[in-house]
Amino acid sequence: MNPDSFLLFLETIARQYPLLMALISLVVVLVLLNLFSMLKIYRTHQQLDGKLLTYSDLDILKETINLNMGMAIVVIALNILMVLLLVYGYFYQGISSNMLILFFIAYSVLTFPLGIIGKKFENLLRTLRVETHDQIIADTYERYLKEWQEARFRLSD
């Protein structure tokens, strides 16, 4: 299939099934957000070389954790939107219960493994070595880890 025919196929689907295209688009965005978050965490771990030494290292870590926390809010909002679209489709667009089940299975197959892999990436930052004699850096790191587990928009300082 050449690119032009694929784009024509997508355009035809979008016109005939706009709700389906919206749902597929949401899933693609959710997958991309997860992948971006994992990449950012990996790059931060590499940049810090697996350890915290200075206050600037804490700043780098804080930026990544804040981004991760903010993206979690976006992911939750997009999931709520997806559920609302599915409910709308079921009650007002005639989506069958079998299609809902099929969609949730496909969605789960895509996102569940990403969630597990994402947690493994987060553990890269949760297990950084603190290699400094400055207790404030160690205490701040511990506080960041505790706040990261809480329902927050971002870290406190």
Q: Which tens digits make up the pLDDT trace of 91-121?
A: 988 888 888 888 888 888 888 999 999 999 9
Q: What pLDDT is recorded for position 149?
A: 93
**Domain limits, the chain:** 18-149
Q: What pLDDT is recorded for position 138?
A: 96
Closest by CA to 140, choosing from 57, 70, 69, is: 57
- Kindly tell me if the per-residue pLDDT of 1 is higher than 70: no
What are the distances in angstroms from CA 115 to CA 8, 49, 55, 70, 86?
A: 33, 24, 30, 16, 22
Q: Which of 15-29, 66-80, 143-157 has the lowest mean pLDDT?
A: 15-29
Supply φ then ψ for residue 118, to 5 degrees. -60, -40
- Give DSSP secondary structure letters for 7-61: HHHHHHHHHH-HHHHHHHHHHHHHHHHHHHHHHHHHHHHHHHTTEE-SHHHHHHH
In DSSP terms, 129 is beta-bridged to 51
Q: Which tens digits make up the pLDDT trace of 15-54?
A: 777 888 888 889 999 999 999 999 999 999 999 999 999 9
Classify residue 56 as exposed, middle or buried by CB count within 10 Å of its CB (0-12, 13-18, 19+).
exposed
Total Cβ atoms within 10 A of residue 81: 13
- Confidence label for 11 from pLDDT (cuts 50, 70 and 90): confident
Q: How far is CA 110 from the centre of its chain?
A: 12
